Structure 1
Amino acid sequence: MHFTSDWKYIYFVGIGGIGMSALARWFNTNGFSVAGYDRTPTTLTDSLEQENISVHFEDDVAHIPSGFLVDPTQTLVVYTPAVPANHQQMAYFRANGFTIQKRSQVLGWLTRNLRTIGVAGTHGKTTTSSMVAHLLRNAGINCTAFLGGITQNYGTNFLLNSPTETPEDIVCVVEADEFDRSFLTLYPDLAIVTSTDADHLDIYGEHDAVLESFRAYVKQIKPGGSLIMKRGLPVADSATADVQEYSLHEGDYHSRNLRIENARFVFDIVYPGGVIDHIAMQIPGYHNVENALAATAVALRVGVSPDQIRHGLHTYRGVKRRFEYILESRSKVFIDDYAHHPAEVEAFLSSVRALYPGRHLTAVFQPHLFTRTRDFADGFGQSLSLADRLLLLDIYPAREQPIEGVTSAMLLEKVSILDKSIVSKEELLEKLLNLDTDIVVTIGAGDIDKLVLPIKEVLVTPFTN
């Protein structure tokens, strides 16, 4: 971590992002002056400001604290690829000789001297990385973690290690993001790959390019390191050392005696050295059983005991917006999930079905990105048809401009169930108030999270027709 002595000020363009805010917290905790810009206030930016980090929301150089601009050699600028090309502050930094790095590059620098566990995958990496971090923290291992979601156990996306004179003794858990090939700045000791489905095709163009990126990531595992991957993924070759596989029912790590008790998944973990019996997890879902297998594999290699793993999985409470129970009573259940790819939507809805057989399921879905909706329309149509009723919101554009012909109406035609409709965000609450609902789920990666608490209020209102 010697590079950090070169900087006094760290400025973040896009500081409110989940990964950017974790990095900002690391620098702030370690004695640097930290400030940043983001487009809109959020609960994340509120938290940063409470930690005495200066955040502003106008793209104007005048809002940057003066100390950050005095000497370009003392200020490191960190940015997210989502920042538009015409951003005024970025133009100023470029024109005045500041050192500018992507978040992924800075994270690569930070982790180079630490024992690093990199968790990659088109789905499952946030839950799995936070699960690994919890298993280590629960076992008393000195670890730091940069996560892509807010852990329910710790209320943050960043865990800070205890001070030490020997950084190489710290275990660092990193969510390794394939977007924009960011994970290629990492050189992990232990790597998990959960999935390699086609995604981010606006960046990659085709699925083969996604796979090539994952293969390149795997090749960056440090000598003597290990790869733990979902069974059957085409990312390892004969030169990849120490590869072990996991899946629900087969592989070096798999489950047995999998069952549902009191709306929770209970199972044993079979691993090469034995069995960890009676795992009863607080977070449901077949996909989360697999995530637990991957987390167990790396935890055992770091020195966590089977009993500590059982206790850690018992006490792991999940991540905000990943199968998050908002309301749970005998008459009404409301779950919120971040799923934004057909495979994620299918895994989520299939697990809800398994937990609550025979009950009526209303899904509220907000598509994320025009390109993703276009590229996976058939898959979304199939996965969303697992619901009994679908309320479909407009597409959340994020960084994209509209694409002609790519609309929620186009997507709705792909859904085979009869009880389906397009609803605006403004109409949704009244619509739900006048529907007889049983199980309600909200799904999506856009701004649908802002509707979660208002929906909860509607659902607890006595039903009136």
Structure 2
Amino acid sequence: MENFTSLYFIGAGGIGMSALVRYFLAKGYHVAGYDRTPSDLTEALINEGAEIVYDENSALIPEYCRHPKTTLVVYTPAVPESHNGFSYFRENGFTIVKRAKLLGMITRTSKALCFAGTHGKTTTSSMAAHILAQSPLECNAFLGGILKNYNSNLILSNTSEFTVIEADEYDRSFHQLSPYMAVITATDPDHLDIYGTEEAYLESFRYFTSLIQPGGALVIKKGIKVQPDVQKGVTIYQYSADNGGDFHAQNIRIGKGTIIFDFVTPKEVISDIELGVPVKINIENSVAAMAIAWLNGVDAVDIRKAMASFKGAKRRFDFWLKTANIVMIDDYAHHPDELKASITSVRALYPDKKISGIFQPHLYTRTRDFYKEFAAALSLLDELILLDIYPAREQPIPGVTSKLIFDKVTCSNKELCHKDMLLEKIKQRNFEVLITLGAGDIDRMLPAIKEILSA
């Protein structure tokens, strides 16, 4: 990086890219970029000093990013080859790298603690980052969600040797990393548009384990399918919520809006861990996060204090409204197993309430590959409003619509709805507990939904 004085990010508003934008702004670089649409995140980046546009016209690239020797260009796999700005940089001899490669370059100079998995990795990595940041060890962290404790997806330290990273398996991005320690939370098949088969997906995780550096460790959920292939000198630990393993919970106490348990490690039991976000799935997530912190020397007092003060990440079981009459929760869940875990957690918190859900499917390929599994998870609801598929990077696939899911959902109160009609539908309903689900753009409607429910 010593030759570069500026960076241009194509897809700057993505959750992973934006953490890098913030990192290089903090390091004093000139930073500009493009994103397809404005968002709260892009507006925050602009306020922090980045120059971001929403038109791909290369004429809008600022002068300080027009010099190939001093400008590094960063992109995500979701950016099409035909993108005008992308074409300009390719045709004019710029150094162009994927986001994952740049993240790998940064983390090779520190002890990288990498969190991978089909689901659970954002919450688990965020918990670990918070524990370390609140301890004398501190950390840098590049995360896949906006942490409420910091109002950012980036944590910086000028002294820490540790970097916490959410390791994304999409497009095999996590193969660019050099973990000192790694966590694997889940390996339920996903991204089959990239991998093709479950076997190839699992092989990608197996290869990821081979990247862990000697002297480090792998903390892997007990019972998942991956067969680790670690280097000599890497220690493997297993964890679970309450199903044994090297790290697990015991003496779990759930009630009156709290979850408290004892954390079992290979050498000690840390009593009375209280979850700041008291959701049942967070028992498992916190065990993995605390395991990494404990293995790196964080003591019981700091672990206990950090877990109680952890406020969670936005869009991860995020309470927007909680009154005697109505509860509104938002969750990023976009894989069938995530939906099942989220809905089951809501049901455990509110066993006597009607549980309603609004789900926006994410990607045509994911819908095509898992529509039966989506339907089974959504059938756990009492009431479902199902939106159109959010395409993200994909073109439509003939015959693949939300109706594939809808037709197999078994809850009796279900309805298909176009997004532009959603607010009117909500005005006509009486909700007790409403959970919005999906990884698309449904989050942009949350303030309006909350306003209707609060009226």
Provide structure 2 residue ranges, at least 5 long, that are not aligned to the other structure: none
Distance 1:430 1:14 in 2: 32
CA drift at 1:430: 2.1
Alignment pair present for 1:31 and 2:28: yes
Task: Tell me whether 1:228 sits opposite 2:225 in the alignment.
Answer: no
- Residue number among 73, 88, 92 corresponding to 1:92 in the alignment: 88
- How far is 1:44 from its partner? 0.8
Displacement of 1:427: 2.1
Q: Does 1:350 align with 2:344?
A: yes
Where do residues 249-260 of structure 1 align in structure 2 (5 Å cutoff)? 249=242, 250-260=244-254
The alignment partner of 1:343 has SS state of: helix
Aligned-partner residue type, residue 146 of structure 1: F
After the TM superposition, which residues 113-192 of structure 1 pair with which residues of structure 2 at under 5 Å, given as runs?
A: 113-162=109-158, 164=159, 169-192=160-183
Shift of residue 239 of structure 1?
A: 5.0
Q: Render the CA deviation track for 1:304-344: whole Å, top value 9, x for unaligned.
A: 10111011100001000000000011111110000000000
Of 213-222 and 60-69, more deviation after overlay is shown by 60-69
Q: Which aligned pairs between 1:398-409 and structure 2 lie closer than 5 A?
A: 398-409=392-403
The question of 1:206 aligning with 2:197 is answered yes
Higher mean displacement: 137-146 or 423-432: 423-432
Look up the match of 1:389: 383
> What is the aligned residue count?
452
Q: Matches of 2:320 and 2:154 in 1, distance apart?
A: 23
CA drift of 1:438 comes to 0.4
Counterparts of 1:381 and 1:35, CA distance in 2: 42
Q: Which residue of 2 aligns with 1:17?
A: 14
Paired residues of 1:115 and 1:172 also in contact (CA < 8 A): yes
Match of 2:274 in 1: 280
Given candidates 216, 219, 222, the residue that maps to 2:210 is 219
1:414 shift after superposition: 1.0
Deviation of residue 282 (structure 1)?
2.2
Report the residue type matching 1:218 in the other structure. T
Q: Distance in 2 between matches of 1:313 and 1:202?
A: 37
Instruction: Report the 3-state secondary structure (helix = DSSP H, G, I; strand = E; otherwise coil) of the residue aligned with 1:353.
Output: helix
Instruction: State the match for 2:235 in structure 1.
Output: 242
* Selected match of 2:52 from 44, 52, 55: 55
Query: CA-atom RMSD, angstroms?
Result: 1.2
Of 411, 422, 430 in structure 2, the residue corresponding to residue 417 of structure 1 is 411
Partner Cα separation in structure 2 for residue 53 and residue 410 of structure 1: 42
* Partner deviation per Cα, 1:352-382 (whole Å, 9 max, x = no partner): 1111112101101001111101100111111
Q: CA deviation at 1:298?
A: 0.6
- One-letter amino acid matched to 2:303: I
Which amino acid counterpart does residue 226 of structure 1 have in structure 2? Answer: A
Q: Is the 8 A contact 1:218 1:235 kept in 2?
A: no
Deviation at 1:238, TM superposition (A): 6.7
| Structure 2 residue aligned with 1:67 | 64
Asked if the contact 1:284/1:323 (under 8 Å) is kept, the reply is: no
Corresponding residue of 2:440: 446
Tell me the TM-score normalized by structure 1: 0.95
Give the fraction of aligned pairs with identical amino acids, expressed as a percent. Answer: 49
Structure 1 portions without partners, runs of 5+? none
Q: How far off is 1:22 after superposition?
A: 0.6
Residues 120-141 of structure 1 show CA distances to partners (whole Å, capped at 9, x for unaligned) of 1110111111111100011132
* Alignment check: 8 A CA contact 1:346 1:383 kept: yes
Instruction: Report if the CA contact (8 A) 1:152-1:320 is conserved.
Output: yes
Q: Deviations for 1:65-107, whole angstroms, at most 9, x for unmatched residues?
A: 11211x3111110011111120111111111110000010011
Q: Secondary structure at the match of 2:410?
A: coil
Q: Measure, in 2, the Cα distance between the counterparts of 1:14 and 1:45.
A: 10
Counterpart-to-counterpart distance in 2, 1:136 and 1:380? 36
Rate the CA distance shift 1:78–1:389 in 2: closer, same or farther, 3 A: same
Q: Does the 8 A contact of 2:212 with 2:230 survive in 1? A: no
AA at the equivalent of 2:21: A
1:368 corresponding residue in structure 2:
362
Which deviates further from its counterpart, 338-347 or 407-416? 407-416
Is the contact made by 1:135 and 1:309 (CA closer than 8 Å) also made in structure 2? yes
Per the alignment, residue 101 of structure 1 pairs with: 97
Aligned to 1:264: 258
The answer on whether the counterparts of 1:254 and 1:271 sit within 8 Å (CA) in structure 2 is: yes
Question: Could you say what secondary structure the match of 2:147 adopts?
Answer: coil
Say which SS state the counterpart of residue 164 (structure 2) adopts: strand
AA of the residue aligned to 1:7: F
1:6 to 3, 7, 19: 3
